[in-house]
Amino acid sequence: MNIDLTGKTAVITGGNIGIGKAFSLALARCGATVVATYFTSDFEEFAEPGQTIYGLPLDATDSAQVNKVMAEAAELLGGKIDILINNAGGLLGRVLTSEMSDEHFHNVMNVNFSSTFYCTRAVLSHMPEGGRIVNLSSLAAHDGGGNGSVIYSASKAAVIGFTRGMAKELGGRRITVNALAPGFIANTTFHNTFTPDAVQEAIISKTPLGRGGTPDDVANAALYLVSDMGCFITGELMEVNGGLYFA
């Protein structure tokens, strides 16, 4: 079955690099018109021929800015946002709890969890009945993550609880709310910055499928959830980890 998102509109936060870029391209290839927000790096046109991917700058940790940009995105997209993928997030740094500043704690919680809350709240006035929301959690929410990532793990666990609560709250509007929990996704800025090569190799050696994941692996899971095939799935956490962890 081919996934057809023709006529659908989507916003992907952090949608210009890494996994976010894979989300943007995957949805656009299926016919959706996409707004990809960006913050840590400039937006460079990456839409393929026949696709429409707009770029809008957004600090997803700024509540007022989120409200403004979601309204701008809805206007660009013809007045509605059918799909929201809350992808913005990051580790920001490996810091032991005993050495962690209040600033680091709040920054990590804000970029991973507050951003998800702000963007979800803001999109609801623009999302029609039957919309789709996909939030990005992480394998770290299950296993505590690597050294120095306690607050990152906690923020991603918060995303899971938020996902399940919102699934109940929005069920009456037939809006589904699900989450993805990627495991080790290779060749991304996240792991290239924070995970030494030896650790990456060790993770792959423990992965039953024998390789690291790719951004497209995560994007393909999202496609299922935002398509008609996923219309009766809500409040779920989909594991994308090659068998490294079984929920």
d(CA 107, CA 58): 16
d(CA 50, CA 184): 32
pLDDT of residue 1: 57
pLDDT of residue 14: 96
Look at the block and give the residue holding tokens 């919309």. 131
Question: Helix (H, G, I), strand (E, B), or coil: what is residue 93?
Answer: coil
Residue 137 corresponds to which tokens in the numbers above? 């959690």
Note if 38 is an active site residue.
no
Per-residue pLDDT of the chain (247 residues; tens, 9 = 90+): 589 999 999 999 999 999 999 999 999 999 999 999 999 888 889 999 999 999 999 999 999 999 999 999 999 999 999 999 999 999 999 999 999 999 999 999 999 999 999 999 999 999 999 999 999 999 999 999 999 999 999 999 999 999 999 999 999 999 999 999 999 999 877 777 777 888 889 999 999 999 999 999 999 999 999 999 999 999 999 999 999 998 7
Which residues, 6 or more positions from 43, have their beta carbon under 8 angstroms from its beta carbon?
A: 16, 36, 55, 57
d(CA 87, CA 136): 5
CA dihedral 91, 178, 182, 97 (to 10 degrees): 30
CATH numbers and ranges of domains, the chain: 9-239 (3.40.50.720)
Maximal CA-CA distance, the chain: 52
pLDDT of residue 187: 82
pLDDT of residue 95: 97
Q: Which of 38, 54, 118, 152 is catalytic?
A: 152
pLDDT of residue 142: 96
d(CA 41, CA 18): 11
Question: Helix (H, G, I), strand (E, B), or coil: what is residue 94?
Answer: coil
d(CA 160, CA 237): 7
d(CA 241, CA 183): 4
Single pTM value for the model: 0.95
Look at the block and give the residue holding tokens 């394998």. 139
DSSP 13-81: TTTTSHHHHHHHHHHHHTT-EEEEEESSS-----PPTT--EEEEE--TT-HHHHHHHHHHHHHHTTS--
151, 179 Cβ separation under 8 angstroms: no
pLDDT of residue 199: 86
Q: What are phi and psi of 139, to 5 degrees?
A: -55, -30
